[in-house]
Structure 1
Amino acid sequence: MQKVVEHPLRPKLYSKDNRSRFQALDQQERGSLAFFERLLVVTSFASTLWTLTQSRQITGKTHLVLQALASFQGHRGLFPSHESIASRAGCSTRTVIRALETAYRLGIVERTRQRQRVSGRICNGVNRYRLIIKPLEQARAAAAHYTQQLKDALARRKQAFFSKCQNDSELNSQSNFFNAEPVSAAGMSHNDLIRWCESIGYRGST
């Protein structure tokens, strides 16, 4: 078997120094690729905003708000607060919230609510956003937002219905109590007293 003899001036391809150099180059290339991917998303999103503005599907204020949102895109994601977006767009937080709702409805922005524990309690944290530029994904995001809106509306109506039933029950109990004829328990048997309490809606403690 012939032994391969390396040239003394030729560097070893798989030496420790070269492996580290290749790893550093690989990380640099991945970082550059991620940067260009973010740049492509932001650029395509800006083009989408112009198209929607020209077709009058969004207003000028909504355009400015969503453009300000996209400017926060970084390597860790997109999670500015409403106040930060409002400051950069030069508008109120109410305008930001309305603009974001329009973006959710159109499917060009997707929101992910985050939860965080504060003093032992679970509270709403900052929202994470994702800019959507592909038409198919936009359609899916818009449908998901519409479905979530329906679920929230049904939950609110259900809660309002239960609250109304509870209030009506309390009012009826009070009405029965105050409109009940005055009686004396001195001449009543135990069963008569129980029936009278039930007639005014009193159940007693259990």
Structure 2
Amino acid sequence: MKVGIVQFPGTNCEYDTQHAFAALGCETQILWHKEETIPAGTDLVVVAGGFSYGDYLRSGAIAKMSPIMKALKVYAENGGKVLGICNGFQVLTETGLLPGALKRNEGLHFISRHHHLKVVSNTNDFLRRCNVNDVVNIPIAHHDGNFYIDAEGLKELYANEQVLLKYTDAKGNIDNPNGSVDSIAGICNKNKNVFGLMPHPERAMEALLGSDDGRAMLEGFIHA
């Protein structure tokens, strides 16, 4: 499997992401933001976490205008698989590849810790290796992770099984760290080929580092 990983000025999780997919046996390539095409044969493009362009204006607002994002939109519209992690999720909502928006955390503080998530839907390539209601322990690290969508948009997300993950405690009870609507931590588009989440599965690949629950999540793309 060939994975491209988008790198903007200010991205800081591209090499964590590269390490994670390489550990799963994937071929990886860093894609600089000024590149105008997605390499032929790419099976998945990951928009990695960090602070693209320093999060000036707002998170992802400048990144969406990069040449690579124009190519990525075409790639996604043609059925290519895309995963946005943290800042990558913010970038994908800014470009319109995913619905909703990411706002400043409700408590106005940067949050960095492990947090539990419950799997809401697995009828997609990303979470097919997980079971519905599984609880996983995945790191979060964000300042603007408060997912917002209006009531009509939220209704559509549930109707199309686009809500993928919710923030919970270890028992699966709602535990919302940032104020996200309905405690939503991850979603996908209607076609289920574009995915976004604020938590970092690429940082949960080894039990020695606190959790290896991210492996099953990322393996879904490989076994699709």
Q: Shorter-chain TM-score: which interval?
A: under 0.3
More helix by share: 1
Q: TM (normalized to structure 1)?
A: 0.22
Q: TM (normalized to structure 2)?
A: 0.21
More strand by share: 2
CA radius of gyration, larger in? 1
